[in-house]
Amino acid sequence: MNRRFGKLSFFVTAGIVGMLVLYSPAIRTLFSTFTTAIQTTYLDFKESVGEMVERHFMQVRTIERLHRTNEKLSERLIRFQNDAASYRALKSAMGLEVDMNLSVIPVRTYGYALLGNFQQLWLERFRNYDPEKNYGVIRNGYAIGIVVEEENRPLMILAGDKACNFAVYIGKKRAPGIATGKDARHMIVKYIPEWMKIEIGDRVFTNGLDRIFPMGIEVGKVLSIRKMQGFKNAEIELFGDTLHPDFVWVVNRDR
């Protein structure tokens, strides 16, 4: 009897609560607010968990990318160290003094020296600037121009300008020549000894004998060769970008 009465009481109570929810605006509003809050909390939690998972995978991808980059840099460092050791050994064997008077300075450009000429730009006055000297300009590892004095200020003349000249070697035989600007993507290497063999595709790099650049900075590659009176000229395609030199490295050789 008591069990039947208990069940009956439960159903009666549930019915009363259901009717109150259905027909009482206050209770219906409270119930709706409560369920909305639960739903919002669930959705926020789900979004938060999703963001945490995405951040985790992004971090994993970033770590993997940095690991690959570190491996490449480590390999390059080993190669550079080996090249440096070989160079020092060669200099020592030849009884020559290692040149330690070399520095590379980051420098910003100020603007074009002449509107319409994209190959000449003013530079900020950099550390130990000497108006009596010429300097080499490097960007992204490539030789792209020189710095000369103009109005007692450093003027950068890029490799596409005819006023830009510096000494180079061509190919494995190291044929010497003087690189002169032609346009924003090309230079002409002049006065190459006629008897020295060079080929299309040969890489061109600075030889350091003009005291502007150190030896071995890449400039470009040979596109065509033209025989002249007693020597050869070679047109080369530049590796470096001479049209966007907003930030460059200036080579300072102290002697």
d(CA 200, CA 171): 10
Q: What is the mean pLDDT of residues 2-24?
A: 52
CATH number for the segment(s) 100-255: 2.40.10.350
pLDDT score of 182 more than 50: yes
Amino acid at 220: G
> Measuring CA to CA, which residue among 123, 125, 172 is closest to residue 146?
123
pLDDT score of 74 more than 80: no
The answer to whether 253 and 102 have CB atoms below 8 angstroms apart is yes
d(CA 139, CA 118): 16
d(CA 156, CA 150): 9
d(CA 71, CA 54): 26
User: What's residue 2's pLDDT?
Assistant: 47
> Could you report the per-residue pLDDT of 16-71, keeping only the tens digit for each?
555 555 545 555 565 566 566 676 676 666 667 767 777 777 777 788 777 777 76
Calculate what percentage of the chain has a pLDDT beyond 90: 50
**Structural domain spans, the chain:** 1-98, 100-255
Least confident of 87-91, 128-132, 172-176: 87-91
Per the listing, tokens 């609560």 go with: 17
Q: Hey, what's the torsion of the CAs at 45, 47, 49, 55, to 10 degrees?
A: -150
Higher-confidence residue of 30 and 190: namely 190
User: What's residue 65's pLDDT?
Assistant: 77
Q: What is the pTM of this model?
A: 0.63
The answer to whether 123 and 112 have CB atoms below 8 angstroms apart is no
> Could you report the per-residue pLDDT of 122-143, keeping only the tens digit for each?
999 998 899 999 999 999 889 9
User: What's residue 246's pLDDT?
Assistant: 86
- Residue 179 has a CB neighbour count (10 Å cut-off) of 24
Residue-by-residue DSSP string for 93-135: HTT------EEEEEEEEEEESSTT-TTEEEEPPPTT--TT--E
Least confident of 97-101, 107-111, 115-119, 205-209: 97-101
d(CA 75, CA 32): 64
User: What's residue 127's pLDDT?
Assistant: 86
